[in-house]
Chain A
Amino acid sequence: MSLVKVQKPDFIQKLKRFFLFDLLKGLGLTLKYNIGAATDKDSVAGKGIYTEQYPKVRPDVAPRFHGAPRLNMDPETHDTLCIACNLCALACPEDCIDVLAMDVEVVVAGKPRRKKVLDEFIFDTSRCMFCALCQEACPTSCLELTQDFELATYSRAGFVWNREMLEQGRETVKYTS
């Protein structure tokens, strides 16, 4: 398939050019947009507004969105779901996860056993590229990238999240109109 070569303008085209037909056609279309903005059905707000009114109106991001990390807890017992298996740290391309485990004595079926539990979890969000490989590696659905996308802080140290921050989440300022 071949596209048409640009031809030399014939008489009618020259006439059209003389009367600014090509420019007026474009201007007509933009004018149509200005008039039709109030009734534009495709727009987000229905009033010809395509921009999002952030931060007054917070956008609803998709359920699969890769945002701030979170360590999920058991909803009933509030124990962490993390089993300190270190798979997320191994899956991370940027090496921004540190899982620190400790051994505790537990009694299983009347016998004392040593069990590895989570002590501290360090997540460096400044180096994270939100690829979600850690989330996919997690066998217990504990580590999850959430819909929270506001990650700015005032210092570099603020980007390093510890276990408490990962479990509780950060407080975000809500702006209202």
Chain B
Amino acid sequence: MLPQLESHMHQLEIATTQEALLDNPEMVLNMGPQHPSTHGVLRVILKLDGETVMDLDCDIGFLHRGMEKIAENRQYPMIAPYWDRLDYIAAVSNGLVWVETVEQVMGLDVPARAHYLRTILTELNRIASHLLWLATHALDIGAVTVLLWALREREEILKIFERQFGARLTCHAWRIGGLPNDAYEGFDSDVRRFVNNFPKRLDEYETVLSENRIWLSRTVGIGIISADEAVAIGLSGPSLRGSGVAWDIRKSRPYAAYADMVFDIPLGENGDTFDRYLVRLEEMRQSRRIIQQAIDKLPDGPVSAKLPKVIKPPAGDYYHSIEGPKGEIGCYLVSDGSAQPYRVRVRPPSLINLQALRQMCIGHLVADVVAIIGTLDIVLGEIDR
């Protein structure tokens, strides 16, 4: 037996001696790190009684790359590409945290057009992230058709990203002060075509899933977390709103051009997997609404602020956060006044949302663990950093 596994078993109070094993009906199941349904390299150690989960423990850190330490040895503009590699599904949103933090610390005056383009592109990224979540979540539960359909729509968004930023996944979308390039020729028509086609596609997903008896029996009442528990753990994003807590940083501390946009915050009631599914689907509709408004009101003008030659923020501690697709993604920056940060700390939504896994899983079956990991929408690149 691996010594590491033994220590985990000790932690979970699982019998390791032979005599105790004979008396004890509980067994330990090691799920991952190479399990396809853990969405990366997450290892879950389950304590089971028959098929019922009695307790579990997560083992993380398989994808640790030391990004926060790397950032201490890079100049401010060079750190942005590393942020893309945290939550690689939502690289555009992640990049925005970093550049907005530095911009606010420096007091840069970012042009309105840059703010609007940022709003459009981060919302497109939110849709892309939710589509990949829907695809993999449905696939884990057994609905394969949605995977193909959702990835088809995501492809349209990735094509827009490729034309705009030059890369599909890790876009390095923003520079401190604005955007590296203005919107490409045909950006407007590409975004409008996507916005017009998208509701029809969303309805199709709903046709296949929302009333499907298999989907309902796999999601309704599974992984319930109450509003109080969710707040106590520190959940954010759709996982929190599924429990009925109206907390959205786009509304409470508007950044980019969100203050000018009209949109609703969808809320769940029961805090189960099905509610979080409904919340995310509704969020995609609201994102589409925001994109529609932003593209209609897109102002003309420059896309980048005037920058000093070397970016040296004044010494001090700063925190800034935005509403990423997974939840609140924040950046805590300690500057000592030099061209390199003293410390960069990421507030990763996935890591904190993962803390709810134990509470959600206890009492459910092993098969439901897969559904609950899916509904939390975790990305291991961000958990391990």
Contact = CB atoms under 8 A, between A and B. Distances in A.
Interface of A: 1-3, 5-6, 17, 22-23, 25-26, 29-30, 42, 50, 61-66, 91-93, 129-133, 136, 145
Nearest to A136: B180
A3 B181 contact: no
Given A3-B267, A17-B213, A64-B184, 9 more contacts: A1-B264, A6-B220, A22-B211, A23-B213, A29-B204, A42-B197, A62-B166, A65-B166, A132-B180
Say which size band chain B's interface belongs to: 35 or more
A50 B155 contact: yes
A26 B212 contact: yes
Interface in B198-229: 204, 207-209, 211-214, 216, 220
Contacts of A66: 166-167, 172
Given A1-B266, A3-B279, A30-B145, A25 B180 contact: no
B268 interface: yes
Is chain A's binding surface mostly helix, strand, loop or mixed?
Answer: loop
Contact of A5 (B145, B180, B270): B270
B219 to A, nearest CB: 10
B155 to A, nearest CB: 7
B44 interface: no
A25 B207 contact: yes
Given A50-B152, A64-B181, A136-B180, A3 B166 contact: no
Interface string B173-200: 0010000110010000000000001000
A6 B276 CA distance: 13
Contacts of B81: 93, 129, 131, 133
B163 A3 contact: no
Contacts of B258: none
A165 to B, nearest CB: 21
B78 A93 contact: yes
